[in-house]
Structure 1
């Protein structure tokens, strides 16, 4: 997988200029994330096994915002590249992939004097970098999502009904089913946990109609992105 990933990334670097242009980096609010110091690390400090589930979850949320503001235009929504820029989902969730990511994030990429990716390091900082990295490496695998798409659609319809007070399904049972489905969804990067539509939907379910509505929306958005 490592050879394939790097080949895929390197092969599209020459066309990055078509995407980035003069887009100005947007600041990322990293409030709530542990400070990791001034010296740049070479391995993601916000993975759950190192920082705990709470920090990991916060990093994914902040990273999603940072990615959407600064990276999605070129690398695609939900990190699904349209072909003009590297598909960052294929960066391995280990030090090898981290080093490649942080090098590009800090210094950008130029070719023949032309900036094809701006340098984000000094402008956004290390905490933002690793939050974005955490979000990227937790993207779900398309095939894993496709395998459970029909099941998720059925649960989404039940949640829609519950959100209007017309459903008779057991919300807690749906949450348990979503949690079980989420545990089986793999990542492209090899990270142990995927931030999928199933896990996002499960997190919204709290017994309220509003919670059911947000959960149904999370599934709708996630299923749309997967296609």
Structure 2
């Protein structure tokens, strides 16, 4: 099992909060024009394509933004074939298990830049010139941060209990003291969840929910939603 330090917690939680804001932006690609991805909040990488993901390290100041922007880009352009939360239904490769290293990056970039055609039929359109490498690496960062198959299995029961506790606290005027230990527990769970790609940090239902818990009623509602969506995908 991989172990991570608390030094990356802030990045994980920031990414989780940003990510849920894009959770409903799911569109199809297939035979339609690829959808533009807003990468204005990420640094420009230049005209020459990099060979390795520049935002893989969760300590990188741009990691959280890359995961969030990548989620939006993935949902708009990739989810129809590769599945919501990158859980493929068999129509296309399950990208959760594409290694988070330079070899995996090479395969990803080739498909992203030139697409994929089989027997004269376009299975995947070319995204490279249309979306650019900032979008490519953001999507790559989001994809490789997906939890491994069954990574949440040991925690599903407890996360459901936490969700029930949050439901009871929803609407409570000052619930910060009751919420604090729940947030800490979910943060601890989040740091123990492994990725399928071998990337250092997973973005999961636990990290997303913990990111919202500041004690306000509105944020409690968002934390509950994050658990609902994440636990559904984990089934």
Quick check: 2:29–2:77 contact (8 Å CA) kept in 1? Answer: no
Structure 1's consecutive aligned runs of 4 or more residues displaced over 4 angstroms after TM superposition are 166-169
Query: 1:76 and 2:86 equivalent?
Result: no
Q: How many residues align?
A: 207
**Structure 1, unaligned runs of 5 or more:** 1-18
What is the root-mean-square deviation in Å for CA atoms of aligned residues?
1.7
CA distance in 1, matches of 2:104, 2:113: 14
Contact residue 161 and residue 167 of structure 1 kept, 8 A = no
Which residue pairs with 2:229 in the alignment? 221
Q: Which residue of 2 aligns with 1:10?
A: none
The answer for the alignment partner of 1:15 in structure 2 is none
Contact 2:42 2:134 (8 Å CA) reproduced: yes
C-alpha separation in 2, matches of 1:151 and 1:53: 31
Are residue 38 (structure 1) and residue 47 (structure 2) matched?
A: yes
Give the secondary-structure state (helix, strand or coil) at the position aligned to 1:143: coil
Q: Indicate whether 1:55 and 2:62 are aligned.
A: yes
Residue 24 (str. 1) matches residue 33 (str. 2) = yes
1:197-219: CA deviation from partner (whole Å, max 9, x where unpaired): 10011111111111111111101
CA 59–23 in structure 1, closer or farther in 2 if over 3 Å, else same: same
* Aligned residue in 2 for 1:11: none
The alignment status of 1:186 with 2:194, answered yes or no, reads yes
For 2:150 and 2:89, the matched residues in 1 are separated by 17
Which residue number in structure 2 is paired with residue 155 of structure 1?
A: 162
Q: Distance in 1 between matches of 2:202 and 2:43?
A: 22
- Mapped partners of 1:221, 1:58: distance in 2: 21
Deviation of residue 34 (structure 1)?
1.3
Kept in 1, the 8 Å contact 2:212–2:223? The answer is yes
Cα deviations by residue, 1:46-65 (Å, 9 ceiling, x for unpaired) = 1225xx44310100000000
Q: Which has more helix, going by share of residues?
A: 1
Measured in 2, the distance between the counterparts of 1:53 and 1:43 equals 14
Q: Of 139, 142, 154, which residue of structure 1 is paired with 2:149?
A: 142
Which whole-Å CA distance do the structure 2 matches of 1:112 and 1:82 have between them?
22
Which one has more relative contact order, counting CA pairs under 8 Å at least 6 apart? 2
Between the aligned partners of 1:82 and 1:20, the Cα distance in structure 2 is 16
